[in-house]
Structure 1
């Protein structure tokens, strides 16, 4: 049987009646409940009932029945997207977001070489087995990530100048832009900061507040009670605008891959009193005491004007945590109740008890770096949570389900594996110099395999020459 068939067989066996002592051992063992192979898996979100997962599949979307977590089944696939357009299909579909019965898919995640359709595709998923495209809004920028709330899509729009968030009303028959927000509009000094250090990587919305993961510029809070007129609330992080302005262009690429900084993903708990900000980094020089990979900061934001850092969740340790080694840096995550569900690429997935956010407690951790590289972790039901596996060059991508409880992985493997290919042309640090083959235009645009990490454009920029960086900024 294939690896994932073995996992299914193990899950089925676990359901058989055993003696009380064996049942207790099964309860403490933390392993996948089921796995569905699904090419191109990136972001995964879950419907309100916890019975359906919605997946960005790089070339489109898929829906997955997870009502039986031990046997996830694909319901439908819509791919490739917008293939009938002259500049179609849409490529690098890395993100989907769900609000009620409306799903959006955005792309391409990174700027491409050559013309390709860009924007947000809208679906009616009232019948998850038959998604119906109901709209499309074309943009003049690549869309790496998005959020959807109350009919408004919030899109990352990194243009190299203002790097704004763009608000698009997708509730009607014709989707249309209704507003924009940019740190540059708030304070002109940000324009002088190298664009890759203030990239808007991801967004999250809770009620009337937009939370922006603004890379080294930190985490920003914006009032969107009127999406057409967003207003600055506050921002916080590791660097001031003056410090970032002083970083020379030639050093900005290396800085963008190093901690501290790198606000990559942000989310808040259910009453927005606690905010988690995850960093993404592959620092090869850890002599300064910082972990080479990015972790997660927990903040008290009950008073948005006076945020207070509460704690830090360290990344899983790795002996070769560069972009060419084992990735254990933080990626996407989700709060639900007193728990935080996290993904760490080859570092696996974890559950933390954050009932005391000043002292988070790890409840469960599963990893297998030679078989899975996780993009996200999402709550499904009281019994299970879901994780998206982006796959690698020697193993499949897909959707995993895990028990939603504490436990320990039996015989966990070492966090060291074969190198992961990247699309970086040349990566230079004080510690080492690594040269990899420069991809062709087609290869740079097709990252369904090992490819670039969560923010391929930024990572590629970090390895480019100063001239190429300047050209990118001018072109955008």
Structure 2
């Protein structure tokens, strides 16, 4: 399977760890979480366990690229009845773009357009769509991450594209935000609208390293005028008192004596767009107060046991923002000095955003399966939450449904797993769960409680 890790291996100098779906180092201050005795004391809403059966109601294969090579599917997002699927790199072939599907009939999704494939030598993994109303633009705005296959290609450039998808049948390019040419580009991103002001939070892995500190891995961009995006803030891990003296732009010499990778992999915000959650690999999930976007304030970050690979990959929130879900993409379960385990999920109480409290750790049946040798497919990937149900994309595991009515005691209540599952992303749209399978395309799933189906 070709992942962002392989791409990074082509771009990073020898001896430097690899990116996205691969880095497997972690630990922070040697915090011991062997006994989780902290319990969530917030409101516990009545939950539902009616997703035991996730029924596939549609499957749409992603067609080959027009130049004849296979294109694989990356993340998936849905908005106003349309699914937006990004694409992943296949070998050195890229430019799969974003594919748009009409979900009017979820059992028969219809592809209506594709876009964002115009920058040579790039791939488009992540897309977020939201309605924006500013003096410069009024409509549905899509932001698309753009990563370079080879920064040495003079024609390529990383960053993110901005498109008008008010009419999803005819996407129209509005602008492009460029990250430093020396970097891979923007890996994951998020679009939030704060008091009418649209902001893009861009995760640009290794930017600090590649630019020798001139640019940072996390940048926040005002896209009120999509044709002229403006960078308004960059986060520097050196600002953290317990990191500054032992951070060299990529590696962190942690207090427990281990050398840990540090880069921004993913970003998101709370519903109001006032809190940002940055997945910073071995620095954990960093929480910033961005209510004043030009002057964010660091609030806290999650930490790990000394034998735990951190690999903070993605996040989601639940219970009105009182709960933080952190997925950890650990690809190597036999790394010396750490527990033998693939990546699993951690759940935190963040009612006090300055002091995350670990509530529980959720492991699937795959994470301890190392008998067959190291395989990337057994780690957890992305989380999404709807009500009291957490959905996890899990590569070979497909999609897991987890009841978090009591976040201190998560319980697996469902799973979808096709014969050759390789699920990258998951998204909840109305009464359907969308899954993007890298190899076989878009899956539309529905909750089904009838035992005989």
- Structure 1 and Structure 2 fold alike (TM over 0.5): yes
> What is the deviation of 1:325?
2.8
2:104 to 47, 67, 74: 67
For the 8 Å contact 2:72–2:438, the answer to whether it is kept is yes
Matched-pair contact (CA < 8 Å) for 1:178–1:227? yes
How far off is 1:259 after superposition?
4.3
Q: CA deviation at 1:386?
A: 0.3
How many equivalent residue pairs? 352
Q: Is the 8 A contact 2:308 2:338 kept in 1?
A: no
Does the C-alpha gap of structure 1 residues 137 and 271 become closer, same or farther in structure 2, counting only changes over 3 Å? same
**Pair 230,359 (structure 1): closer, same or farther in 2 beyond 3 Å:** same
Residue deviations 1:217-268, cap 9 Å, x none? Answer: 11110111122212111112116xxx8xxxxxxxxxxxxxx94311111111
- The answer to which structure has the higher helix fraction is 1
Using the alignment, how far apart are the partners of 1:128 and 1:81 within structure 2? 17
TM-score for both structures, normalised by structure 2: 0.71
Aligned: 1:380 with 2:417: no
Q: 1:165 maps to which residue? A: 218
The separation in 1 between residues aligned to 2:264 and 2:142, in whole angstroms, is 22
Q: Distance in 2 between matches of 1:274 and 1:42?
A: 26
Change (3 A) 1:238 1:388: same
CA deviation profile, 1:410-433 (whole Å, cap 9, x unmatched): 8xxxxxxxxxxxxxxxxxxxxxxx
Of residues 45, 48, 53, the one that matches 2:83 is 53
Closer/same/farther in 2, CA of residues 408 and 269 from structure 1, 3 Å limit: farther
Provide the C-alpha distance between the structure 2 equivalents of 1:307 and 1:409, rounded to a whole number of angstroms. 43
C-alpha contact (below 8 Å) 2:148/2:158 kept by paired residues = no
Distance 1:279 1:326, change over 3 A: closer
Please give the TM-score of this superposition, normalised by the length of structure 1: 0.68
- Alpha-carbon RMSD: 2.7
Contact 1:220 1:235 in 2 (8 A): yes
2:267 matches 1:203: yes
SS of residue matched to 2:245: helix
Question: Which residue is 1:123 aligned to?
Answer: 163
Judged with a 3 Å threshold, the aligned counterparts in structure 2 of structure 1 residues 354 and 328 are, in CA distance, closer, same or farther, namely: same
Of the candidates 406, 415, 423, which is equivalent to residue 356 of structure 1? Answer: 406
Where do residues 6-405 of structure 1 align in structure 2 (5 Å cutoff)? 29-38=53-62, 39-47=71-79, 49=80, 51-58=81-88, 59=95, 60-78=97-115, 80-82=117-119, 89=120, 91-100=122-131, 101-108=140-147, 112-115=151-154, 116-140=156-180, 141=183, 142-150=185-193, 151-157=198-204, 158-159=206-207, 160=209, 161-162=212-213, 163-172=216-225, 173-187=227-241, 188-192=244-248, 194=251, 197-206=261-270, 207=272, 208-238=274-304, 259-269=308-318, 271-285=320-334, 290-317=339-366, 319-320=369-370, 325=375, 327-368=377-418, 370-382=419-431, 384-391=432-439, 396=440, 398-404=441-447
* Long gaps (5+) in structure 2: 1-50, 63-70, 89-94, 132-139, 253-259
The offset of 1:200, in angstroms, is 0.7
The alpha carbon displacement at 1:328 in A equals: 1.8
Instruction: Give how far 1:102 is off.
Output: 0.9
- Say if 1:289 and 1:176 are closer, same or farther in 2 by CA, change over 3 A: closer
CA contact (8 A) 1:293 1:321 kept: no
Shift of 1:277: 0.5
Structure 2 CA distance for partners of 1:374 and 1:301, relative to 1, 3 Å: same
Q: Report SS of the residue matched to 1:189.
A: helix
| CA spacing shift, 1:316–1:182, aligned 2, 3 Å | farther
Point out the structure with the larger strand share.
Answer: 2
Give, in whole Å, the separation in 2 of the partners of 1:144 and 1:111.
14
The farther-off stretch of 132-141 and 400-409 is 400-409
**1:109 CA displacement:** 6.4
| Cα gap change, 1:110 to 1:340, in 2 (>3 Å) | farther
